[in-house]
Amino acid sequence: MINIVLADDHVLVRQGVRMMLETCPDEFKVVGEVSNGKELLDLAKKHPADVYIVDISMPLLNGVEAVAKLTRLDRNAKVLILSMYDDRVSVEKAVKAGARGFVIKVANAEELLEAVREVAAGRFYFGGKISKFLVQGFLEKQAPKKDNRHLTNKEKEILQLIAEGYSSKQIAKHFTLSLNTIHVHRNNIMRKLGIHKQAELVRYALKEGIAQL
SS3 letters across the chain: CEEEEEECCCHHHHHHHHHHHCCCCCCEEEEEEECCHHHHHHHHHHCCCCEEEECCCCCCCCHHHHHHHHHHHCCCCCEEEEECCCCHHHHHHHHHHCCCEEEECCCCHHHHHHHHHHHHCCCCEECHHHHHHHHHHHHHCCCCCCCCCCCCHHHHHHHHHHHCCCCHHHHHHHHCCCHHHHHHHHHHHHHHHCCCCHHHHHHHHHHCCCCCC
pLDDT of residue 132 exceeding 80, the answer is no
Query: 149 or 118, which is more confident?
Result: 118
* Closest-CA residue to 44 (of 101, 10, 5): 5
pLDDT at 81: 94
pLDDT at 133: 57
Cβ 151 vs Cβ 133: under 8 Å: no
- Ordered domains of the chain (ranges, CATH): 2-140 (3.40.50.2300), 153-207 (1.10.10.10)
Arithmetic mean of pLDDT, 10-31: 93
**Predicted confidence band of residue 105 (pLDDT cuts 50, 70, 90):** confident
pLDDT of residue 90 exceeding 90, the answer is no
For 49, left (φ over 0), alpha (ψ -120 to 50), or beta?
Answer: beta
pLDDT of residue 142 exceeding 70, the answer is no
Would the pTM of this model clear 0.85, i.e. be above it?
no
**Predicted confidence band of residue 146 (pLDDT cuts 50, 70, 90):** very low
For 194, left (φ over 0), alpha (ψ -120 to 50), or beta?
Answer: left
Please state, for a pLDDT cut of 90, what percent of the chain lies above it. 54
pLDDT of residue 143 exceeding 70, the answer is no
pLDDT at 84: 87
pLDDT of residue 144 exceeding 60, the answer is no
The Cα–Cα gap between 17 and 67 comes to 19
Cα 190 to Cα 2, 174, 179, 195: the distances in Å are 44, 20, 17, 5
pLDDT at 137: 54
pLDDT of residue 185 exceeding 60, the answer is yes
Return the exposure string of 103-119: e unless at least 16 CB atoms fall within 10 Å of the residue's CB, then b: bbbeeeeeebbebbbbb
Residues 57-69: tens digit of each pLDDT = 898 889 899 999 9
The Cα–Cα gap between 178 and 192 comes to 21
Please state, for a pLDDT cut of 70, what percent of the chain lies above it. 89
pLDDT of residue 139 exceeding 60, the answer is no
